[in-house]
Amino acid sequence: MLEILYTLSKSSEALQHAVIFLFNGAEENILQASHGFITQHEWAKSIRAFINLEAAGVGGKELVFQTGPENPWLVQAYVFAAKHPFASVVAQEIFQSGIIPADTDFRIYRDFGNVPGIDLAFIENGYIYHTKYDTSDRILTDSIQRAGYELLVQSSLGHYHNYTVRVILILMIACSRIYDCWVKLFFFFVAINNLKKFFTAFGLILLSWISTLVTVLIVAVFISLIGRSLSWYTHFYVSVFLYGTAAVVKLILVHSLAKKFYYKVRLTSLPLLEW
């Protein structure tokens, strides 16, 4: 943050909007500093968006794991400004579900200041986070360099004109409405032509989703019972192996059984054609 502040101060190109650099303390003590700023500081009311920097690891790609609330223009601005955007909707759902026992200044700005923002964090080697092995010599300096570059580029958020945002939002809304109408029309005709097949397929898909969810929960309970509840946190591929494999196998199993028993029965019950 200091390096970005220094670079911006030496830049010959003036920003269209002011940028506040907030160095918070007391984060581990119920996020007191961010709460004090957003509720008491005279600058708080002038803030329209924020970028929150977090770390639950020593490096890797900076992951956008929370955005909003609402305000899709902020995500569009991030995609427009960042050279190498990296985000995960799944990460946001998992974090906001409360499964991970942690919190960030993002919630304070959102809930007490009603300000939209972007929450970024390093997550590589997260298993040493808040342990005695969480030392400065393990920090990956190339990740710091990358993050600084990305954040410096994102300072161009102030140059992302409202007119451009409006045009993008109008196009997105128009496309979504057209797509939504097409989907509804398509399913309407499908339901009219063959309502029974439609509900059968829908029921089969719903059953496969529920079965998959139950399987994933069973795996999660088993991992917790053997004392490895956060083993997937270190690398993304671990979570794919633990939960993704179980989910895919369950989906294939449900549809294979349906194909073998249900559809086979229906085919054998059809009368033979007489020529």
User: Active-site residues: which are they?
Assistant: 27
Instruction: Give residues with Cβ within 8 angstroms of 108, minimum separation 6.
Output: 31, 34, 35, 38
Helix/strand/coil (H, E, C) string of 26-92?
CCCCCCHHHHHHHHHCCCHHHCCCEEEEEECCCECCCEEEEEECCCHHHHHHHHHHCCCCCECHHHH
**How far apart are the C-alpha atoms of 52 and 45, rounded to whole Å?**
17
As a whole number of angstroms, the distance between CA 101 and CA 88 comes to 19
Per the omega criterion (within 30 degrees of 0), is the bond before 69 cis? yes
233 in Cβ contact with 127 (< 8 Å): yes
Query: Cα dist. 188→13, 192, 201, 202, 236 in Å?
Result: 55, 6, 15, 14, 40
What are the E-state strand segments in the chain? Answer: 50-55, 63-68, 117-122
CA distance 48 to 190: 46
Tokens of 270: 């059809």
Distance CA 170, CA 94 (A): 30
Torsion over CA: 102, 105, 111, 112 (sign): positive
